[in-house]
Amino acid sequence: MDFLPKSIIRTPLFLKREEGLGGTPIKTFTLIELLVVIAIIAILAAMLLPALQNARERGKTASCLSSIRQLGLANELYASANGGYFIYSAVWKSDWSGGDYWCGKSSDGVSGVENVGGLNDYLGKSQGVRACSSVELVYSSSTNGGTGGYGYSSAIGTYDTKDNYRISVPAKSSYLTAPDRTIMFADHASVNRGQFNEQIDLFPPDALTRDEVSYSASPTMHFRHNKFVNVCWADGHAASEGPLTFSKSGWGYSAAQLEFTYNIGYFGGSTSDEVNELFRCRKKK
């Protein structure tokens, strides 16, 4: 390198000389110094990115909590206007081709769910069911749309049934013995071919028929907010709950796959019996 002029060795690519106008010396950076600065910036960006992502997710969680709380309040308004009965989960047409759901209406069971009727009439300025922005839901059928990514507890919305299960008969508010520990709405999703779909009902691990016969239901509670789930309780308060403590097989997946790959399961216990208590809706005698 002794045969090269010193000015060439010290000059970066974006400068042609070491001297400015009038011969004033210009302090320049070497290529190594520039690479060090770039590396430091990259390291700082890598350190700050998770914090920024967490802050953004906290914002989404807060927005989701507000939306799910509005659903609970709307259901309370519905009950006040309907003799104390909460809204039904679904009232199907006689041929099962669509019907009225808590989140809207399907005219034919094929073209999707419109956000009209149901709780939409009680949501006021929120202009219908607002979707959670923390998950991408893929539409698959009329019963799997319009929920915004929230499931309605079948223990409340389908307390009983009529016409061979075609009509959901909801519970009355007076049936709740512990509304502050009874789930009404929660983040939910089902899984189909690795994609998240919507379902109108949020089932406990062991659902009950009108004849008090228990059957096993696939889990849909979705822990999408940094592995926590937003819940609106039957007394109207909403909170992020977790962590996920129990799951079971469903939707063609094992319990381990639903829990660790898709964050679907339950909180509040490590057995079906313990979790069922968070859905229990007993009629007062």
Is residue 281 included in any domain, yes or no? no
Q: Which of 84 and 20 is assigned the larger pLDDT? A: 84
Mean pLDDT, residues 234-241:
95
pLDDT for res 210: 54
pLDDT for res 35: 86
- Say if residue 12's pLDDT is above 70: no
Is residue 9 included in any domain, yes or no? no
Burial of 81 (0-12, 13-18, 19+ CB in 10 A): exposed
pLDDT for res 2: 53
Say if residues 146 and 101 touch (Cβ distance below 8 Å): yes
* Total residues found in the chain within this entry: 285
Torsion sign across C-alpha atoms 147, 258, 229, 55: negative
pLDDT for res 98: 80
Number of domains in the chain: 1
Is residue 161 included in any domain, yes or no? yes
**Helix (H) or strand (E) run with residue 55 in it:** helix 31-81
85: helix, coil or strand? strand
Print the domain residue range for 131: 42-276
Cα gap 132→192, rounded to integer Å = 19
Q: How confident is the model at residue 99 (pLDDT cuts 50, 70, 90)?
A: confident
β-strands 229-233, 183-187: how paired? antiparallel
Q: What is the pLDDT of residues 13-50, one digit of tens each?
A: 444 445 555 556 666 667 788 888 888 888 888 877 77
Cα gap 269→105, rounded to integer Å = 35
- Say if residue 284's pLDDT is above 70: no
Is residue 227 included in any domain, yes or no? yes
6: helix, coil or strand? helix
Say if residues 71 and 150 touch (Cβ distance below 8 Å): yes
pLDDT for res 13: 46
DSSP type of residue 19: B
pLDDT for res 4: 47
- Say if residue 265's pLDDT is above 80: yes
Is residue 101 included in any domain, yes or no? yes
Q: How confident is the model at residue 11 (pLDDT cuts 50, 70, 90)?
A: very low
Is residue 236 included in any domain, yes or no? yes
pLDDT for res 14: 45
- Say if residue 55's pLDDT is above 90: no
Point out which residues pair with 233 in neighbouring strands.
183
pTM comes to 0.79
- Say if residue 141's pLDDT is above 80: no
Cα gap 150→230, rounded to integer Å = 9
Cα gap 161→92, rounded to integer Å = 11
Q: How confident is the model at residue 212 (pLDDT cuts 50, 70, 90)?
A: low
pLDDT for res 8: 45
Mean pLDDT, residues 226-234:
95
Is residue 47 included in any domain, yes or no? yes
pLDDT for res 261: 95
Q: Residue 142: name the closest of 184, 100, 170 by CA.
A: 100
The fraction of the chain above a pLDDT of 70, given in percent, is: 80
| Cβ neighbours around 6 below 10 Å, total | 10
Scan for tokens 């749309």, then name that residue.
Answer: 145
Cα gap 231→180, rounded to integer Å = 11
Range with lowest mean pLDDT among 136-145, 223-232, 236-245, 259-268 = 136-145
CA 12 to chain centroid? 52
pLDDT for res 92: 84
Torsion of CA 131, 183, 219, 216, to 10 degrees: -140
Is residue 14 included in any domain, yes or no? no
pLDDT for res 199: 83
